[in-house]
Amino acid sequence: MIDYNSKQVTGSMKRITIRDVSERAGVSTAAVSYVLNGREGKVSADTVAKVRKAAEELNYIPDFSARSLANNKSKLIGVVIPQTEDRKQLLLQNPFYSELICGIEARLRQSGYHMILSGVEKGEGYLDTSMQRNLDGAIITGIYQESFYEDLKKVRMPIVLIDSYIYDSHFDSVGIDDELGGYMATKHFIENGHANIALVTGLIRKDGVVEKRFLGYKRALKESGLFYNPDYVFEHSVTYEYGQEAARHIASNHPEITAIFATSDLMAMGAMQGIRDEGKEVPTNISVIGFDDISVARMCTPPLTTIKQDAIAKGIMAAERLLAAIEHADPSVPAVPKEPMAMPLALVERQSVRRQTF
Q: Name residues contacting DNA, limited to 43-72 (CB under 7 A).
A: 43-44, 46-47, 60-63, 66-67, 69-71
CB of 128 to DNA, least distance (A): 12
Using DSSP's 3-state secondary structure scheme, residue 169 falls into coil
Per partner kind, with CB cut-offs from 5 to 8 A, the member of a second copy, DNA, none near residue 2 is a second copy
- The rounded distance, in Å, linking the Cα atoms of 236 and 242 is 7
Q: Shortest distance, CB of residue 215 to a second copy, whole angstroms?
A: 27
Query: Looking at 20-28, 65-73, 141-149, 223-231, which segment touches a second copy (CB under 8 A)?
Result: 65-73
Encode burial over 333-348: b for 16+ CB neighbours within 10 A, e otherwise: eeeeeeeebebebebe
Contacts with a second copy by CB under 8 A: the residue count is: 81
In sequence order, which residues have a C-beta less than 8 Å from that of residue 15 and are 6 or more positions away?
8, 63
- List C-alpha distances in Å: 148 to 13, 288, 319, 356: 45, 36, 21, 47
Peptide bond between residue 283 and the one before it cis (omega within 30 degrees of 0): yes
| Residue 85 CB, nearest approach to DNA (Å) | 34
Residue 11's binding partner out of a second copy, DNA, none, with CB under 5 to 8 Å set by partner kind: a second copy
Q: CB–CB of 248/278 below 8 Å?
A: yes
* Torsion sign, CA atoms 280, 286, 291, 294: positive
Q: Is 22:2 a contact under the CB 8 Å cutoff?
A: no
Q: Which of residues 177-236 bind a second copy (CB under 8 A)?
A: none
Q: Please identify, using beta-carbon distances, which residue of 25 and 81 lies nearer to a second copy.
A: 81
Give the residue, chosen from 49, 66, 342, 346, that forms a contact with a second copy under the rule CB under 8 A: 66
What 3-state DSSP class applies to 247?
helix
Which partner in a second copy, DNA, none is near 331 (CB below 5 to 8 A by kind)?
A: a second copy
Out of 1, 46, 225, 279, the only residue in the binding site for a second copy (CB under 8 A) is 1
CB 144 within 8 Å of CB 125 = no
356 binds, among a second copy, DNA, none (CB under 5 to 8 A by kind): none
**Any contact of residue 42 with DNA (CB under 7 A)?**
yes
206 binds, among a second copy, DNA, none (CB under 5 to 8 A by kind): none
Closest by alpha carbon to 317, among 93, 106, 75?
A: 106
Q: From the CB of residue 255, how many other CB atoms can be counted at a distance below 10 Å?
A: 12
Candidate segments 181-189, 210-218, 224-232, 328-336, binder of a second copy by CB under 8 A: 328-336
Smallest distance from the beta carbon of 125 to DNA, in angstroms?
A: 18
Residues within window 94-113 making contact with a second copy, judged by CB under 8 A: 95, 98-99, 101-103, 105-106, 109-110
Q: Quick one: CA dihedral 166, 168, 172, 177, positive or negative?
A: positive
Residue of 4, 7, 28, 277 that binds DNA (CB under 7 A): 28
Q: What is the amino acid identity at position 199?
A: L
Interacting span for a second copy (CB under 8 A) from 46-54, 148-156, 181-189, 195-203: 148-156
Could you give phi then psi for residue 170, rounded to 5 degrees?
Answer: -75, -20
Site for DNA in 118-137 (CB under 7 A): none
Q: Which stretch binds DNA (CB under 7 A): 13-21, 220-228, 265-273, 334-342?
A: 13-21
CA gap 99, 235 in Å, rounded: 25
Distances in whole angstroms, Cα of residue 91 to Cα of each of 56, 94, 244: 43, 6, 19
Q: Which does 342 bind (CB under 5 to 8 A by kind): DNA, a second copy, none?
A: none
C-alpha neighbours within 13 Å on the C-beta side of residue 191: 9
Residue of the chain from 44, 147, 253, 295 that contacts a second copy (CB under 8 A): 295
Residues lying near DNA in the complex (CB under 7 A) are found at 14-15, 17-19, 26-31, 33-34, 36-37, 42-44, 46-47, 60-63, 66-67, 69-71
